Structure 1
Amino acid sequence: MVRGVLFALAAGMMWGLAFIAPLLLPGYPAVLQSLGRYIALGVLCIPLAWMDRADLMHLRWSDWKQALALSVVGNLLYYLLLASAIQQAGAPLPTMLIGTLPVVLTIAAKLRARHEDGRMAWRSILPSLALIAAGIACVNAAELRALGDSSSQNLMQYAWGGLLGVGAVACWTWYPLRNADWLREHPQRNARAWATAQGLVTLPLALLGYAVFAWYTHGQASEFAIPWGPQPVVFGSIMLTMGLLTSWLATVCWNAASRRLPASTLAQLIVFETLCALTYAYTLRGERPELLTLLGVALLVVGVVIAVRSSTKAARTA
């Protein structure tokens, strides 16, 4: 249990970086950021695949198809929607929407009632869910006030950004549950090799997508500099960091957590991503969080602690 929580915390710390990358690259289209991140991931996975070649050789065709589906939904589509939402509506609204994942995922896991997901009774989960929901509301209250006071922004742009954010939530509701299903159905498979497999199948898709993007941009006579944009060193450095840490290593850690924790508990631990994203955002701004934000963080942490303790008790009595 403790190791599972630590793995989930490590994944959240690295996933939180995804929220500030679009802010560091405002002049880059969201589609290029998504494709660049997963091209970097695929290239990095080639030498990693040699390390895990024995495990990868044992994957069947059905496993590779599952890895492809997970990569398309949980990698390319999710980050495309998230980066687009941040660029359209700014960071506050997408952060609020992604912050609902612990609640959305826990409810989805319970409704499916698969594997250990249905072991914990609703009465054991609801207190932690209520605390996490209250914490999320507090953490985002100040940001939402600023969002509402900004009259210069186009309302339709905000609405479009919110819709894209909802799409990102949908992608990341399906991905961790299905990924955990596969890992539990194949306990003999290496979690690191499974993360590498997802990176490998993403590479040809990302390369194809980039070729289409470059062709379309050239045809539109755009001023955007192909292939790496106006800040090639900054863009390349961020994409490599995202590919290695936010994509591959975070997935390895999450896979390890998925094997140690019930999905209903694992879902609530995604709150670490929100906490880390907010920490990075405030650090980037050079601002101190408000008292209400600190209260929200405290509620989030208490909710997670209660969730873990409830999961431990359920595992002992099972």
Structure 2
Amino acid sequence: MTAGFLFALAAGLMWGLVFVGPLMLAEYPATLQSFGRYLAFGLIALPLAWFDRARLRELTRSDWVEALKLAAVGNVIYYLFLASAIQRAGGPLPTMIIGTLPVVIAITANLRSGSREAKLPWGRMLPSLALIAAGIALVNHVEITHLRQDPGADIARYALGALLAIGAVVCWTWYPIRNAEWLRAHPDRNPRSWATAQGLATLPLAVIGYASVWVWSALSGDRFSMPFGPRPGDFLLLMFAIGLFASWLGTVCWNEASQRLPPSLAGQLIVFETLAALCYAFLLRRQWPAPETLAGIALLVAGVLWALRTRPEPLAAEGHAS
């Protein structure tokens, strides 16, 4: 449990970096950032795959199909939604919507848990979920107040950003649950090699996507300078940094956590991503959080600590009296 908690914390700290890219590269299309990030992830996975080649050979065709599904939904489509949302609504609004993930994933995972998966009792889950939800609500209230006070705010653009962020929530509700189910069904598989496999599966998707953006830009007469935009050095550095730390290393840490924790508990620990994203956003703003925001963060942390005290119900012994 302690190791799983620490791996989830490390994953959250690295995943929070994905909220930084769209803010630092505001003039870059979200499609280019999404495909660029995962093109970098795929290229990083190539030398890693060489060192892991023995374990990767153990994966069956169905395993590679699963890796491709996870790569498409949890990587490319998710980040396309998220980057688009951040560019239309700024950093805080998508962060607060993504912040609902711990609650959404915990509830969805518990509803999906079959007879072979240990379930967290609903009664014991409610206090931690309530604390997390209250913390998110407080943080959200501060950000919505800032939005209403901005005279130049484009409400329609913000609303579209909110819808795109909800799409990201759907993708990332499906991804960690499906990924955890596969890992727990294959305890003999190495979480690091599984992360590398997802990187390899992402590479062809990213190549096709990046080439499509390039072709579309040329055919439409877009003045955006392809292939790396007006700030190629910043773009390449940021894409490879996010690809290495958020995509590969973050996935490795999350896979390690997923093998040690029940999905409904691991889902709540994704709150670390929200906390890291908020921290990075305020660092970029060069602004100290409001007292209400700090209170919300305290509630989020309290909810996580409470969740760690919750233990799954023991599974009934197989073949027990019928």
Please give the TM-score of this superposition, normalised by the length of structure 2: 0.95
AA matched with 1:227: P
Gap change, CA 1:17 and 1:317, over 3 Å in 2: farther
Residues 209, 316 of structure 1: CA spacing in aligned structure 2 closer, same or farther, 3 A cutoff?
closer
Shift in CA distance, 283/117, structure 1 to aligned 2, threshold 3 Å: farther
- 1:128-143 aligned within 5 A: 128-143=128-143
Matched AA of 1:50: W
Aligned mates of 1:151, 1:117 — CA distance in 2: 51
Gaps of 5+ in 2: 318-322
**1:79-110 residue CA offsets vs partner (Å, 9 max, x unmatched):** 00000000011112111110000000011011
1:265-276 maps to which residues of 2 (within 5 A)?
265-276=265-276
Measure how far apart 1:317 and its partner are.
11
Do residues 261 (structure 1) and 248 (structure 2) align? no
Which residue number in structure 2 is paired with residue 295 of structure 1? 295
Deviation at 1:290, TM superposition (A): 1.1
1:148-193 Cα offsets, whole Å, 9 max, x none, are 2224232221111111011000000000000001001111111100
Would you say 1:160 and 2:160 are equivalent positions? yes
Q: Which amino acid aligns with 2:230?
A: P
Structure 1 residue 109 corresponds to structure 2 residue 109: yes
- Structure-2 separation of matches of 1:174 and 1:12: 17
Q: TM-score, normalised by structure 1?
A: 0.97
User: C-alpha separation between the residues in 2 aligned to 1:273 and 1:258?
Assistant: 15
Amino acid at match of 1:91: G
1:73 and 1:175 in contact (8 A); partners too: yes
Change over 3 Å in CA distance of 1:115–1:37 after alignment to 2: farther
Q: Partner of 1:197: helix, strand, or coil?
A: helix
Rounded Cα–Cα distance in structure 1 between residues aligned with 2:194 and 2:28: 31
Q: Which amino acid aligns with 1:187?
A: P
Q: Tell me by how many angstroms 1:138 deviates.
A: 1.3
User: Which residue pairs with 2:320 in the alignment?
Assistant: none
Per-residue deviation, 1:118? 4.8
Q: Is the 8 A contact 1:116 1:262 kept in 2?
A: no
- The aligned residue for residue 69 of structure 1 is 69
Aligned to 2:47: 47
Residue 173 in 1 paired to residue 173 in 2?
yes
Q: Distance in 2 between matches of 1:238 and 1:139?
A: 28
The count of residues paired between Structure 1 and Structure 2 equals 317
The residue type paired with residue 224 of structure 2 is: F
CA distance in 2, matches of 1:54, 1:206: 25
- Offset of residue 304 of structure 1: 0.5
Contact 1:109 1:117 in 2 (8 A): no
Tell me the SS of whatever aligns to 1:222. Answer: coil
Q: Distance in 2 between matches of 1:33 and 1:196?
A: 21
Instruction: Kindly report the root-mean-square deviation, in angstroms, between the aligned alpha carbons of the 2 structures.
Output: 1.6
Question: Deviations along 1:220-254, whole A, 9 cap, x unmatched?
Answer: 11111010000000000000001000000000000
The offset of 1:10, in angstroms, is 0.1
4+ residue runs of structure 1 moved beyond 6 angstroms? 315-318
Give the Cα separation in 2 of the matches to 1:10 and 1:59: 27
In the alignment, is the contact (CA less than 8 A) between 1:92 and 1:147 conserved in 2?
A: no
Q: Contact 1:49/1:196 (CA < 8 Å) preserved in 2?
A: yes
Q: For residues 269-307 of structure 1, give each alpha carbon's deviation from its aligned partner in whole angstroms, at most 9, with x where no partner exists.
A: 000000000111111111111111111111111110110
Once the two structures are superposed, the pairs formed by residues 1-318 of structure 1 within 5 Å of their partners are: 1-114=1-114, 118-311=118-311, 314=313
| 8 Å contact from structure 2 (residues 103, 129) kept in 1 | yes
Q: Is the 8 A contact 2:224 2:230 kept in 1?
A: yes
Question: Per residue, is there more helix in 1 or in 2?
Answer: 1
> Kindly tell me: are residues 125 and 35 of structure 1, through their superposed partners in 2, closer, same or farther at Cα, counting changes over 3 Å?
same
